[in-house]
Amino acid sequence: MKKIKIISKVLIALMLIFCACYTILFLCAKYGSKIDIENSNSIYMYDMDNKSFYEGNNGTKKWIKLKDISKYLINATIYSEDKNFYEHNGFDIPRIIKSTLVNIRSNDLTQGASTITQQYARNLFLTFDKTWERKIKEAWYAFKLEAQYSKDEILEGYLNTINYGNGILGIENASEYYFNKSAKDLNLAESSMLAGIPKSPDNYSPLNDEAAAKKRQKEILRAMVNNGIISQETMDETLDVKLTYYGKKENLNLSTLMYYQDAVIRELQDLKIVSEDSIQQEGLKIYTNLDIEAQTSLENAIKNNLEDKDEMQTAAVMINPDNGAVIALAGGKDYSKSQYNRAVQSKRQVGSAMKPILYYAALENGLTSSTTFLSKPTTFSLGNGVTYSPSNYGDIYPNDKITMALAIAYSDNIYAIKTHLFLGEDTMIKYAKKMGITSKLEANASLPLGTNELSVVEFTGAYSSLANSGSSVKAHLINKVEDGNGDIIYEFKNNKKKVLNKSYTYILSELLSNTYDTSLKSYTAPTCASIAPKLTKKYAVKSGTTDYDLWTVGYNPDVVVGVWTGYDDNRKLSSKEYKYSKNIWADAIEGYLRDKEAKWYEKPDNVVGVLTDVETGKEATNDSKLKKILYYVKGTEPGYKSKTTKEKTTQKTTSN
């Protein structure tokens, strides 16, 4: 009996402590700083002309009242997401216990128990991490929402900010995007389809996978039947309704634009300059480098070339080489079908597109456009009994000496490896770092053949130092960030640093313009000859091919464009697929520069052009089969010594 009294007293004490703690928490939540649900975490993005292209955490900031949303949609949402929404205080304890038991029994964590309030709290603020601290804060926000707002207000906020797939946030935006109508006019079939998307926006958008979306719609209608909202007959009739999807946004209907927006948020996260308070109170204004003209050109190029390639993917970026501004970016073919941003999240082997870094290093270390190496099947001894036997594409070799000019045009692998080993395996890494590559590169014999993996943004950014005649610039999407009061909390500083020699970048750019010069065809053809008919301006360009990755990166003084194509599952590529990255590159850069003045680099004073026999590297003669003006730093050009001797002889004769 005595033990029972003690236990009773302990339980009462614990209950009183719990009630006291709950009361304190409730009062703090109720009368603390109020969450502004219509403005919290509002994000406004502006392009390079300060024109808005994204407004608010709820897409285009179309906030509508609960009374203006179809009752069908409201009921479908509640009974599919949180049927006890109007009964609990933000946390459905019985549901949490039940889902925990199910997860334990099944040894799985797929059963969730988040309420509408919890989901809203999670989406109301930018999620920069997935730590326990973050989860505790989300729970606190949910508690505050319940203390400060009515259930109808919470539901209204949730429906105005939830993700409906394809970059669409908020029910009014979703209704207009999918069905070209206001949310108040949605019928049951449309409502049950839309209500199913938020559980997994990538998988349940009917534009991504209509079969999966239809299955989800059936689950929602079944939940409505089980809760007495509709009859079985109504459910059957609704499932038979054939839905027609609109699939267009009000403006800027670019399927790749969300990749740019996604990359902006990722960059904002990496900058670590935004406090939660600034987001909660007034939101953010983000001024980006987006050039809608460039983004449109990039998207058109992707669509025109990959429209019939269902599974092949791409990642592409366009950068202003003068300051590193990312003016266009695509992380895939279509954001509505795949939200994986390959431009910033994926790293792939870059293949021979790595060679310009090697050849710049070679030029700066005494080699010239005329330097020759023997190219034939070769096994290199790397020491300690290790050998390396690279091959040229298609096992095509001249079996003779070739010049650097032809080695670049033909992308000769044997020449590249010989150059690399001649300079030393660490040399190329040193120059890659100078040019802005921060990823770890392995100092090995195969480095010039692009066996290391890099992201499209990082690798294309490194080419900027060649395109701007020698300065390292940081590739970036964000120029400036302001809080809602207009106070600047971040501004990009262009710390342009001279890292390369202008004379050698000029010479290399000229050499890279030969990769599509069809007049240089000999025992093989220049690697980019296939896109020569598309090019109306002069460019420096290099392609890269591995068994699984296709790259094309190139530039002129105005823009650097990098394109990768391949398969997400690392499927081996066929030779028929090698054309896609080159064609996307050509169409994108030509489309962007179509109405712009053609530009090229001014020749430095200490550089001289010489009509050269491109096969031998000597001054061209009437017998030369392949001849072209190649460029050299004065004193290194073909015939320089003989000219100098002749000049001295002439001077001596004149003085006598």
Q: At 544, is the secondary structure helix, strand, or coil?
A: strand
* Dihedral sign (CA 57, 59, 63, 64): negative
Distances (CA, A) of 549 to 80, 375, 524: 43, 25, 22
DSSP secondary structure letter of residue 187: -
Tell me the backbone φ, ψ of residue 507, rounded to 5 degrees: -60, -45
| Residue in the block written with tokens 């590159």 | 585
Facing residues of 560 across strands? 319, 555
Set 40, 70, 80, 81: catalytic member: 81
SS3 329: strand
E strand segments, 32-118: 43-46, 52-55
Mention every residue, 6+ apart, whose C-beta is less than 8 A from residue 155. Answer: 66, 74, 77, 78, 85, 116
Compute the Cα dihedral for 432, 433, 438, 443 and give only its sign: positive
Q: How far apart (Å, rounded) are the C-alpha atoms in residues 9 and 27?
A: 27
Cα torsion 184, 190, 192, 195 to 10°: value is: -70
Residue with tokens 């096969």: 615
Tell me how far the alpha carbon of residue 472 is from its chain's centroid: 21
* Residues present in the chain in total: 656
How many Å apart are CA 10 and CA 538, to the nearest integer? 85
81 annotated active-site: yes
Q: 334-353 as b/e, with b when 16 or more CB fall inside 10 Å?
A: bbbbbbebbbbebebbbbbb
213 CB burial (10 A radius; 0-12, 13-18, 19+)? buried
Residues 277, 257: Cα–Cα separation, whole Å: 28
Question: Reduced to 3 states, what is the DSSP secondary structure of residue 639?
Answer: coil
User: Is 153 part of the annotated catalytic residue set?
Assistant: no
Q: Is residue 495 helix, strand or coil?
A: coil
Dist. CA 59–CA 52, nearest whole Å: 12
Q: C-alpha angle with apex 536: 530 to 541, nearest 5 degrees?
A: 55
SS3 429: helix
Tokens coding 81: 């997401």
Give the span between the Cα atoms of 338 and 202, in whole angstroms: 7
Choosing from 42, 114, 297, 352, which is the catalytic residue? Answer: 352
Structure tokens at 9: 């007293």
What are the tokens at 565?
Answer: 């194509």
Catalytic residues: 81, 352
